[in-house]
Amino acid sequence: MSIMLAKTLTDRFGRKHDYLRVSVTDRCNLRCVYCMGPEGVPLLDHTQILRYEEIISVVKAAAEMGISKIRLTGGEPLVRKGIEHLIQAVAGNPGIKDLSMTTNGQMLAPMAGRLKEAGLKRVNISLDTLKPELYSEITRGGDIKNTLAGIKAALEYGLTPVKINVVLMKDVNDGEIRSFLRLALEYPLHLRFIEYMPIDIHSSDWKDRYLPLSVVGEEAAAIGHPLELMGNTGCSGPAEMYRLPGAAGSVGLIHPISRHFCFACNRLRLTSDGYIKPCLYWQEELSVRPFIYDQEGLKALLQKALDYKREKHGMYPEGNDILTGEGNRGMSQVGG
């Protein structure tokens, strides 16, 4: 007897899930300080990484369960060969309405046109500083010129809205908030200031770097452009959206620590080695491999994953001693 499954993925707290973040690789061409230690992370064997056809099988099942938004992540998704073929296949699924990518932008400029042609709609680009030397320090060797060229190419080829992810770090890049705000004033870029998150062991010093995002509003007011609340714009995700009067772009604040957004969470994650994770923070995950070409099995697994989803994460600014628990995956392994 077959089990009738709902066509929407709703958890026990009534949250409807229509968004799947797909990590296509654990490899990255940078070593950002908030993502991994200086030695990097132990890399998976290539045989452990899901093949494109396996990812497509999971996406197909997810789309039939109500997933309509896909974001490709990594590691760095552009280091995986043939990524355009995956984009084309995912974009061709009639259930997928929005296909985006998070990238560090280092390889984006020469690829932007092909990505757009394959069906990618928009990009989020990580850029935590506008200072070349500090960029190299934060990323442990990256070249800011490549990322800036990637941003320019994304705008030229219509991978829009182009969102810029800025992880705010106390005594590192907090002195550049005004510079970033001026960037949004001049260009049609949508800034996303993100609070520093305690993920995995390399983040043991996170409290020394953590800064609440209320400082962004203070800096905006100081330069004569106070933030005006816009509300959710449809593709803003967990960001609180603000406009800068007279600006070409906008500002979003993503504060998982000071004001968590778990009550509105609508996402699941597929790791590059084939696990469904209900939450970035908690350790629970379920392998898709036993059902990889069994569509009904995959659908049941996706629903089962929601049974493990908790009401909220455990990242808080005070009193949390389980932030680096053994077994937690780093950001580069989960896909952000």
140, 150, 67, 33: which is closest to 101 by C-alpha? 150
- Quickly state the pLDDT bin for 2 (edges 50, 70, 90): very low
Min mean pLDDT across 7-21, 77-91, 94-108 is at: 7-21
Measured between alpha carbons, how far is 311 from 11 in angstroms, rounded to an integer? Answer: 9
Measured between alpha carbons, how far is 123 from 126 in angstroms, rounded to an integer? Answer: 10
- Quickly state the pLDDT bin for 319 (edges 50, 70, 90): very low
Place of tokens 């001049």: 186
Instruction: Please enumerate in sequence order all residues whose Cβ is within 8 A of that of 224, keeping only pairs 6 or more positions apart, or say none.
Output: none
| pLDDT attached to residue 159 | 98
Q: Which amino acid is at 280?
A: L
Handedness of CA 148, 152, 157, 162 (dihedral sign): positive
Of residues 30 and 263, more confidently modeled = 30
Architecture label for domain 15-334: Alpha-Beta Barrel (3.20)
Token output for 127 = 């850029």
Are the beta carbons of 64 and 36 closer than 8 angstroms? no
Phi then psi for 57, rounded to 5 degrees?
A: -65, -40
pTM attached to this predicted model: 0.91
Whether the pLDDT of residue 106 is over 50: the answer is yes
Alpha helices in 38-110 (DSSP H): 52-64, 83-91
| pLDDT attached to residue 233 | 55
Spell out the domain ranges in the chain. 15-334
Token output for 131 = 């200072």
281, 199, 258, 192: which is closest to 33 by C-alpha? 199
Residue 235, classified by CB atoms within 10 Å of its CB into exposed (0-12), middle (13-18) or buried (19+), is: middle
In this prediction, residues 272-288 reach a mean pLDDT of: 91
pLDDT 10s digits, 196-252: 876 654 455 677 888 999 999 999 999 999 999 986 555 556 889 999 999 999 999
pLDDT 10s digits, 30-86: 999 888 777 777 888 989 999 999 999 999 999 999 999 999 999 999 999 999 999
Place of tokens 């060797």: 141
